Amino acid sequence: MIDSFEMASRRLIGSLLTAFFAAALVCASPVAAAPPPKKGAQKLERYPPSFRLAVKEAIDGGVRRLKDLQKIEGVWGDPAHDQAMGHTALPLLALLKAGVPLDDPHVKRAFRALDGMKLQRVYSVALYLMAIQAAHDPKLDTLDTEVGTKRRKRIRPKQVRAKLSKREVARMQEGLAYLLRAQNASGLWHYDVKDDGTATGHDLSNAQYALLGLRAAMDAGFKVKSPVWRSALLGLMALQDPKGKKVDLIEHRIHGEYAFQGKVPTQVRGFHYGSGKKNGPLGENTVWNNPVTGSMTTAGIACIAICQEGLWRSRRFKGTDRKKSRAAIRGGLAWMQENFTVTENPGHPHKAHHMYYVYGLERMGMLTGRRWIGMHDWYKEGADLLLESQDHVRGGWGGHVKSSFGILFLKRATRKRDIVVTTD
């Protein structure tokens, strides 16, 4: 029979073990469940299931629209158009980013059609390279990349390169060579190649797609040397207002599942389509030919972010260039903060190129890793607009170009800047 002392001892040991395991469970609790580490933190919330479902259904509708618009030959648009390759590569890119498999008949027909086309025009070649890379790129759910998710899988260019067929390697090499030849003395690009070496014509729209194409080639294991990125970076800065109104740029720093709001003093500095200027009240060449717009400012920010990534990969990113590029991005973001809208292309005198701007907003937001522009959740506001404006009978947002832009925005198709694993 157990005496009272032994029974009391067992009760004491049991109490101590209970307390020990309770403490262990508390210590093992996820960090995210702890209170915010500092005052003023905002708890990040995942987008609600109803919203996520609506986005998925809208993407599916856009995919249906693109498939309906594809011609039996595999192309979209007019095959005689000088940008015929781009008009087919853009919808193909949207289908691939939406998760349509490679063995889908529409995808197979599109790739066959593109394989027989001549590599010409900067827009077209860049989109073609993006489509080839997207066919072998890891598929990621990027709807909530900042909230409660594990570290993203890093892009490993050699692994992507190993998946390419011999024909795809040859076409990407040819396309990359074309884009490198098309970069002119301005550091930027225009519509086509000028082989006489004296061309300086350029615009931010062509430059944007050229850099996206170069990034796709780099992500697929092809080398792009650091002078290409640096020349482009310097050329891009020439398209930005040199100074502007002083403001505080609202920044959000993500820590676990919390966001901390801060302010950084900067100047409002938007981007222009081209560098041309005319005479004005302040003298010669003092007035820009083209106004600052949302589509060009999102393009400028995204392009500088791509150049930063390329220079970091090459390990040849000078301190002065880093400082200038950070200031350029902040100035562009300040312009977006002051002029943010999703209902039109801000700053454009004719309110044109709205869906082009919407897709540009996605690239800017993803490449800079931002959930907010100022106090605006750019993705939520843009997605709400697209959900409301979608043609629920036919499924898209008009023709193949606008429908592609809509899918690419909703899918958050642009890979965020990441550390790329390189061994060479």
Q: What is the pLDDT of residue 141?
A: 63
- Residue 23, in any domain of the structure: no
Query: SS3 sequence, the chain?
Result: CCCHHHHHHHHHHHHHHHHHHHHHHHHCCCHHHCCCCCCCEEECCCCCHHHHHHHHHHHHHHHHHHHHHCCCCCCCCCCCCCCHHHHHHHHHHHHHHCCCCCCCHHHHHHHHHHHCCCCCCHHHHHHHHHHHHHHCCCCCCCCCCCCCCCCCCCCCHHHHHHHCCHHHHHHHHHHHHHHHHHCCCCCCCCCCCCCCCCCCCCCHHHHHHHHHHHHHHHHCCCCCCHHHHHHHHHHHHCCECCCCCEEEEEEEEEECCEEEEEEEEEECCCECCCCCEEEECCEEEEEECCCCCHHHHHHHHHHHHHHHHHHHHHCCCCHHHHHHHHHHHHHHHHHHHHHCCCCCCCCCCCCCCHHHHHHHHHHHHHHCCCCEECCEEHHHHHHHHHHHHCCCCCCCCCCHHHHHHHHHHHCCCCCCCCCCCCCC
Q: What is the pLDDT of residue 193?
A: 79
Residue 121: burial class (beta carbons within 10 Å; 0-12, 13-18, 19+): buried
Q: Which CATH number is 278's domain given? A: 1.50.10.20
Q: 201-212 burial, b for 16+ CB within 10 Å, e for fewer? A: bbbbbbbbbbbb
Question: Is 409 a residue whose pLDDT tops 80?
Answer: yes
- Residue 1, in any domain of the structure: no
pLDDT classification of 140: cutoffs 50, 70, 90: low
- Residue 384, in any domain of the structure: yes
- Residue 228, in any domain of the structure: yes
When divided into structural domains, the chain yields a total of 1
Question: Is 169 a residue whose pLDDT tops 80?
Answer: yes
pLDDT for 313-368, tens place per residue?
888 788 899 999 999 999 999 999 999 999 999 999 988 999 999 999 999 999 99
- Residue 30, in any domain of the structure: no
Question: Is 104 a residue whose pLDDT tops 90?
Answer: yes
- Residue 28, in any domain of the structure: no
Question: Is 32 a residue whose pLDDT tops 90?
Answer: no
Q: Which domain holds residue 281?
A: 39-410
- Angle of helix 204-219 relative to helix 226-237, nearest 10 degrees, comes to 160
What is the average pLDDT across 4-18? 47
- Residue 5, in any domain of the structure: no
Q: What is the pLDDT of residue 314?
A: 80
pLDDT classification of 31: cutoffs 50, 70, 90: very low
- Residue 160, in any domain of the structure: yes
pLDDT for 225-242, tens place per residue?
999 999 999 999 999 999
